[in-house]
Structure 1
């Protein structure tokens, strides 16, 4: 029995470990062909130096990576929060009303596939500043998964539930809070998880174009300084934070799967 448990643990640990080792080997081989590409060892040394003081501040355009991460997270949180406030109620309305759904379907079908960065010039034109324009891009990019998944969840609610509510003469608010919301919650959380992934992807590209602060600006600034090691570190930081955000929402969604 104990041997089986050890084998099971080994099969859980060994494949990811081999995958990481193969990735590092391929990275080191590529760095051997390109002298300007830092290998894993050089990148690790640069990361130790970088994270030794992540919150230094030498002016508005020279901040540690910690400040840039916080600025990016703040923009994502604000744009994503605004999208949730608008998108989730709108998803319930679209799912409940065939008329509203038919009215908004062509608009959502037209706007949803638009590249997020295509919205950035509109934001700059309307707001005249880079900060609200970046938040606007996050908002317009992350609102669609929440609307569509919430509406899909509402449509999946069994009609029998709604018939009983009609017989009991429940108000629309009571139907929403006692029937729709508990049933739609797993769909809603899936939409939220997809939306946060989109938001985190978009903010880096938006910050590259708008400048100022944030991980995107920091990556572009390091490229101008030809500091490739810091660019590689930023890639891993972006990936790690995105993974943590997504896994947090996955765990939250599993909590409400019932």
Structure 2
């Protein structure tokens, strides 16, 4: 009985462990909470002053329509009348398709231009020209070319997010130490072994930098595209529809969703980078 009791106590979470954990995590938790609270207070005071028509955080919660959206994000009444979870999920699905395509093509072409200086000289002016075009400028072009909202939105995500991946990958390939290349030539390493054992591992930090920048651009692009495109389920169209009906509190709530999802996407990319490159 004594051994069993000791084993049970050993597996339990003691108050001392909780206290130690809190002391360790408090410096990382308390400052952000203070910052968020201060921001909400300033926002509420600014709203209550009458200097702006934007509702404060208290009004966002007390508004019946906004509170329903906040408490019931999973409702689905068919058509475009869906909760914010489904709106956000639809946008994320488009982002996943466009971003995946951008990652595949961006890394592939980046490796090509990074290893072939002549091709890089030929294509670099085109890349620099295209990457300066704003995402919204691609929307009418995509709609004319593809004739449908869904593929047009995916194309806008792709064309917006491919450039940081491509450019960072090419730069990472060019930054491979010359000693590595010399050793590969001396040992007569095959192209396949050189690619997987030298090129990709050396360029990975640059590739992840491009991927992290691109995921933020992809999320921004789909919001802009959905605002312009009508009749599709998505958080961007939800914002535009709420604006058309003068539901300002709903717009603010949707902006909160956008910022939260963008933060999660960025943190997920950082976690993936640390998982694959722990030394970083």
TM-score by length of 2: 0.85
1:121-132 aligned within 5 A:
121-132=140-151
Identify the residue that residue 7 of structure 2 maps to in structure 1: none
**Conserved 8 A contact 1:190-1:253:** no
1:241 counterpart = 2:258 = no
User: Structure 2 CA distance, aligned partners of 1:218 and 1:7?
Assistant: 42
Aligned residue for 1:55, secondary structure, equals coil
**Conserved 8 A contact 1:134-1:203:** yes
Q: 2:133 aligns with which of 86, 90, 114?
A: 114
More deviation in 77-86 or 163-172? 163-172
Q: 2:31 aligns with which of 15, 30, 37?
A: 15
- Residues 144, 222 of structure 1: alpha-carbon distance in 2 compared, 3 angstrom cutoff: same
**How many pairs align?**
256
Q: 1:85 aligns with which of 79, 83, 104?
A: 104
Aligned residue for 2:228, secondary structure, equals helix
| 5+ residue gaps, structure 2 | 1-20
Q: 1:43 aligns with which of 47, 60, 69?
A: 60
Identify the residue that residue 229 of structure 1 maps to in structure 2: 249
User: Structure 2 CA distance, aligned partners of 1:45 and 1:248?
Assistant: 33
1:53-68 aligned within 5 A:
53-68=72-87
| Cα deviation code 1:143-175 (max 9, x no counterpart) | 001001111111111111111111222222221
| Cα deviation code 1:163-188 (max 9, x no counterpart) | 11112222222210111111111111
Distance apart, 1:257 and its partner CA: 5.0
- Residues 81, 10 of structure 1: alpha-carbon distance in 2 compared, 3 angstrom cutoff: closer
User: Structure 2 CA distance, aligned partners of 1:153 and 1:213?
Assistant: 38
User: Structure 1 CA distance, aligned partners of 2:238 and 2:122?
Assistant: 42
Distance apart, 1:104 and its partner CA: 0.9
Return the index of the structure with the highest Cα Rg.
2
User: Structure 2 CA distance, aligned partners of 1:200 and 1:144?
Assistant: 15
| Cα deviation code 1:33-60 (max 9, x no counterpart) | 3484322122234554213322322232
Identify the residue that residue 157 of structure 1 maps to in structure 2: 176
| 5+ residue gaps, structure 1 | none
More deviation in 10-19 or 183-192? 10-19
Q: 1:133 aligns with which of 149, 152, 155?
A: 152
Identify the residue that residue 6 of structure 2 maps to in structure 1: none
Aligned residue for 1:58, secondary structure, equals coil
Q: 2:227 aligns with which of 208, 214, 223?
A: 208
Identify the residue that residue 24 of structure 1 maps to in structure 2: 40
1:101 counterpart = 2:120 = yes
Distance apart, 1:129 and its partner CA: 0.9
1:219 counterpart = 2:239 = yes
Q: 2:93 aligns with which of 71, 74, 79?
A: 74
- Residues 98, 27 of structure 1: alpha-carbon distance in 2 compared, 3 angstrom cutoff: same
